[in-house]
Structure 1
Amino acid sequence: MTSRIILAATLALGTAGAALADVKVNTPGASVDTPAGPVDINVDVGSSMKPTEAWIGRAVYSSDGKNVGEVAAISGDSVYVDVGGFLGIGESRVLLDNGNLEAVQPDRITLKMTEAEVKSLPPTSAEKN
């Protein structure tokens, strides 16, 4: 309840009288940054969020802000990511567990690993689609 009050106050201050949408944040670990422009929602994955099929195709970024690939498949609490290559040629598939994930956003998954750490992971034997 307190987080909803703080969110409402932050939205009211950030929009300075503009029309407000009804925003509810019911995800543990979610934070809302409200500058004068659009609202960005960042969800801290932690150990409570399970990867879903909706993540497939989503861009994957390293902790140092580099686009390292995209989600190729989900297996339980793990995510298969196609890394490197160009237009599907020369890429390798790596397996990341839930502990490697930092945040989930509508357009990307952010990892707790740097680009160099991701590229040094061994390829998995998982068959590519």
Structure 2
Amino acid sequence: MDHTHHIRLSGNELTSDILDGATIYGADDEKVGTVSHLHGSQVVIDVGGFLGIGAKPVAVPADQLDFMRDETGDVHAVTTWTKAQLKDIPEHQD
């Protein structure tokens, strides 16, 4: 997916209502997870699993993700993290 023409979200758009469920793309445009929820200044990402079952929640700083909307209005983010790197982060506990 070419993200160069996608519109970056502004700071006031970084809310749970907008970000929950957003797909996260990592290196080589691989889907690495989905936003579960926000936890302070961190974004909790569900990594792995299938349809939300067996996914591992991990928290990363929001500034490690570049949130944007595609041509259809769907919100997603890109990051330099790989799925393997995210899986190595300790599981997030609320």
TM-score category (smaller protein):
0.7 to 0.9
Q: Show the counterpart of 2:38.
A: 74
Q: Show the counterpart of 1:105.
A: 68
* Structure 2 CA distance for aligned equivalents of residues 59 and 76 of structure 1: 19
> In the alignment, residue 52 of structure 1 is paired with which amino acid?
T
**Aligned positions, number:** 85
- Superposed CA deviations along residues 76-102 of structure 1, whole A, max 9, x for unmatched, are 22101111001222111000112321x
Q: Show the counterpart of 2:93.
A: 125
State the Cα distance separating 1:75 from its structure 2 match. 2.1
> In the alignment, residue 19 of structure 2 is paired with which amino acid?
W
Question: What stretches of structure 2 of length at least 5 have no aligned partner?
Answer: none
**Structure 2 residue 24 is the aligned partner of structure 1 residue 60:** yes
* Structure 2 CA distance for aligned equivalents of residues 116 and 49 of structure 1: 28
Question: What stretches of structure 1 of length at least 5 have no aligned partner?
Answer: 1-32, 34-39
**What is the alpha-carbon root mean square deviation over aligned residues?**
2.3
Check the 8 A contact 1:64/1:115 in 2, yes or no: no
Give the structure-1-normalised TM-score: 0.56
Check the 8 A contact 2:35/2:45 in 1, yes or no: yes
Give the structure-2-normalised TM-score: 0.74
Identify which of structures 1 and 2 has the higher relative contact order when contacts are C-alpha pairs closer than 8 Å and 6+ apart.
2
Percent of aligned pairs with the same amino acid: 31
* Structure 1 CA distance for aligned equivalents of residues 19 and 27 of structure 2: 18
